[in-house]
Amino acid sequence: MRNHEYDLCNLPGDLFREILLRLPVKLLLQLRTVCRSWNSFISSHEFVMHHHQRSTQPRLVYCSLESDGLDIMQCSVSSLLYNQLQPTRIEPLQIKYKTIQGSCNGLLCLCEGFPYRTLTLFNPCTRSVSLNVPFEYPGGDYLQPVFCGLGYDALRDKYKFVTGSKSSTVAAGLFRYRAKVCTFDPNPSWKTVDHPMFPYFTSCYSGTFVSGTLNWMAHVPDNDNEWFILTFDLETESFGRLCLPRNNHTHTGSCDYAPSLQVLKNFLSMSFQPACDINTACTIWIMKDYGVEKSWTILFTIPFGNAIIRSDIWLEPLYISEDEILLAYGKFNWSNLLVYNFRKGEVVHPMVEIEGSRDRSTIYPLSKSVYEKYFHVYHESLVSCLP
């Protein structure tokens, strides 16, 4: 064993690093116990961030009442995409009575209670947990936030939680919009930030993190056709807006489904049901150069073609593999997951099994209850929740 360790440690540095970058988090956690030098290298900020960028282990998480009490559930995305002959194992994380309000770099932002009482960062892979931070509402009146999200300020190496709400304290019948930012460090703190003072609604509650920014789909209340992307730069702590693709007139059609935001293939992505195209169920765009509106490019289109993808179904993409297989959230009679193979044009509803359930029964995802689900896809990470 000693000779084996000696040989490994004397591999060329670049080769040794490349080997470790390809290993899953679970194995890396074990290797950290080999010796102090390995622990120091694997725990270094540079290695942790590079490993996350190279991660090929996506995981799906959501809050559920499918186990005893409200719990956070997770499963392997790869199993959902490729293991169609066996039910995917759904694992309860035993994080009771907390909801997911954002995700970033493999971390989940959890809120407890409603109105929210505390804010916590949690890494599902390492099980590390930050200290609880008392939640502060932007308006101070405990109205439900209009939007929120978790992001990473690379300049300061800090994770930040952003939340905005509307307050009716200005005048009767009028609302004022406010926003606050919580910075996670040894002494977490909240601060009020400037907020664009115009009325709008956000259709996506939890922000999408990409390129150092949080992003929400929004529109003017009296005009459902006027959609745009509300942005927040984590470094400058300032709001802005981006236009949607010019040749997609952002009209949601008779179904009135809002465009949705996600990160696909590491790009900011927008999915949309064209209003006047009777052949297309969903169009997926990506912004190849973040902030450059001319870089919007159609990635894929999903055609109508069978009873599963119909005109009354709203689809929200969650993940696209390198070989063009899509995991999406479909909403119709009840919420469900579906897998769509672009090359074959096939739709599959993967089966799942709840780990530790009493009956061990196989079920369709999300069809067991009528409660709404909000999904997050994250990549396994060694990122620590502790500053």
User: pLDDT value at position 363?
Assistant: 54
**Residue 6 confidence (pLDDT):** 40
Q: Assess whether pLDDT exceeds 50 at residue 347.
A: yes
**Mean pLDDT of the region 261-270:** 93
pLDDT band of 275, cuts 50, 70, 90 = low
Q: Give ∠ CA 59-123-376 in degrees, rounded to 5.
A: 40
Query: For residue 96, what pLDDT is reported?
Result: 80
What CATH code is assigned to 44-379?
2.120.10.80
Residue 95 has pLDDT above 70, yes or no: yes
**Which are the contacts of 71, defined by CB distance < 8 A and separation ≥ 6?**
63, 64, 65, 92, 93, 94, 95, 96
- Which tens digit of pLDDT belongs to each residue from 312-322? 567 789 999 99
Q: Residue 174's pLDDT is what?
A: 57
What is d(CA 94, CA 354) in angstroms, rounded to the nearest whole number? 13
User: Tens digit of pLDDT for each residue in 22-31?
Assistant: 888 999 999 9
pLDDT at residue 8 in the model: 52
pLDDT confidence band for 366 (50 / 70 / 90): low
Give dist(CA 54, CA 48) in Å, integer.
Answer: 10
Residue 19 has pLDDT above 70, yes or no: yes
The DSSP string of 172-206 is TTEEEEEEEEEEESSS-EEEEE----S--EES-SB
More confident residue, 195 or 313: 195
Among the ranges 8-12, 92-96, 257-261, which has the highest mean pLDDT value? Answer: 92-96
Q: What are phi and psi of 204, to 5 degrees?
A: -115, 120
Average of per-residue pLDDT across 265-290: 84
pLDDT of residue 154: 93
How far is it between the farthest Cα atoms of the chain? 77
pLDDT at 331 (0 to 100): 65
- pLDDT given for residue 89 in this prediction: 87
Q: At what angle do helices 45-54 and 13-21 cross, to 10 degrees?
A: 50
Q: Is the pLDDT of residue 2 over 50?
A: no
Confidence of residue 250 (pLDDT cuts 50, 70, 90): very low
* pLDDT at residue 254 in the model: 37
Instruction: Provide the residue type at 33 as one letter.
Output: T
Tokens of 128: 């590390």
- Whether residue 191 has pLDDT greater than 90: yes
Helical H segments across the chain, by residue range? 2-9, 13-21, 25-31, 36-43, 45-54, 77-82
Q: What type of residue is 67?
A: S
* Residue 252 scores a pLDDT above 50: no
Higher per-residue confidence, 8 vs 103: 103
Q: pLDDT band at residue 54, thresholds of 50, 70 and 90? A: confident
State how far the Cα of 96 lies from the Cα of 112, in Å rounded to an integer: 9
pLDDT of residue 268: 96
Percent of the chain residues past pLDDT 70, beyond the cut: 75
| pLDDT: which is higher, 248 or 61 | 61
Task: Over range 351-369, report the average pLDDT.
Answer: 59
> pLDDT value at position 59?
93
SS3 49: helix
Q: Is the predicted pLDDT of residue 74 greater than 60, yes or no?
A: yes
Indicate the pTM of the whole model. 0.86
The radius of gyration of the chain from alpha carbons, rounded to an integer in Å, stands at 22
Domain parsing of the chain, residue ranges: 1-43, 44-379
User: What is the residue-wise DSSP string for 15-40?
Assistant: HHHHHHHTS-HHHHHHHTTS-HHHHH
| CB contact burial 3-13 (16+ within 10 A = b; e otherwise) | eeeeeeeeeee
| 148-175 pLDDT, tens digit each | 899 999 999 999 999 987 665 545 455 5
More confident call, 65 vs 162: 162
Contact status, residue 25 vs residue 57, Cβ threshold 8 Å: yes
Q: What is the DSSP letter of 145?
A: P
Residue with the bigger pLDDT between 330 and 89: it is 89
DSSP 199-237: --EES-SBPEEETTEEEEEEE-TT-TT-EEEEEEETTTT
Q: Using the predicted structure, report yes or no on whether residue 63 has a pLDDT greater than 80.
A: yes
What is the average pLDDT across 325-351?
A: 78
State how far the Cα of 155 lies from the Cα of 160, in Å rounded to an integer: 12
375 phi, psi to nearest 5 deg = -95, 150
Angstrom CA distances, 266 to 129, 176, 263, 288, stand at 26, 34, 6, 9
CA–CA distances in Å: residue 340 to residues 287, 309, 321, 366: 22, 10, 11, 17
The pLDDT of 282-293, averaged and rounded, is 92
